[in-house]
Amino acid sequence: MIEFISSNRHKFVEIKTRMDECNLGITWVRMKYEEIQADTTEEISLDSAKKLSSFRGKPFFLEDTGLYITSLNGFPGPYSSYVSKKLGNQLVLKLLDDERSAVFLTVLTYWDGRSFFQFSGKLEGEISLVERGKNGFGYDPIFIPKGKDLTLAEMTVEEKNEISHRSRALNKFIEFLRTNGMP
Ligand code: IMP
């Protein structure tokens, strides 16, 4: 069983659903950890993994995700968690005019007990005019993936997993595990 460290139940459910489909076992280590404020999602993800590896005995993975809004020069990006808490979706909507494109980026970091490996996944789309949908979490009610009419919060976990930033990063990681073996 490989450990996934996160305090976020929604992330765990999305990841477990995909891992189950691939017959890969996963254990949820429900744990909150401090994240640094840095310029990139990659740095935040790697820094968290490095800190946790210093006292975790077994291989694990974690992930960090950011929402990059084009008209805001990529903001909130690595500040996504802070902005979500401070502003929330309603105030984010107020910041935007006609240009509404955005990208989700997930960077998953795996520690195999010796080395760190990173896998990233992106989802392009646009910010909706109003919040829609009750599923998911965070920015899901205001994000419409490219080529879709529904927000991520109007999709089931399986539908979100078919296209999401998180599942794209996870699929690369699963490929890595298939090639290199489970820990
Ligand atoms: P973190 O990866 O937990 O630091 O997430 C940063 C911010 O983005 C938090 O406010 C999350 O709620 C939000 N977030 C992370 N992943 C997703 C997602 O898949 N959909 C919508 N919001 C997300």
Q: Which domains does the chain have, with CATH numbers?
A: 2-180 (3.90.950.10)
Does residue 119 register a pLDDT over 90? yes
Site residues for ligand 1, CB cut-off 6 Å:
8, 64-65, 67, 80-81, 84, 136-140, 152, 166
Q: Phi first, then psi: what are they for 138, rounded to 5°?
A: 55, -125
pLDDT of residue 102: 98
Active-site residue, from 20, 39, 64, 98: 64
Tell me the pLDDT tens digit for each residue of 23-74.
999 999 999 999 999 999 999 999 999 999 999 989 999 999 999 999 999 9
Going from the Cα of 181 to the center of ligand 1, the distance in angstroms, rounded, reads: 29
Tokens standing for 179? 């090639």
pTM for this entry: 0.97
Q: Where are the alpha helices (DSSP H) in the chain?
A: 9-21, 41-53, 80-86, 88-94, 157-163, 165-180
pLDDT for 127: 98
Ligand 1: atom nearest CA of 35 is 4
Q: Are 138 and 97 in contact (CB under 8 A)?
A: no
Neighbours of 148 (CB within 10 A): 14
64 classed as catalytic: yes
pLDDT, position 31 = 96
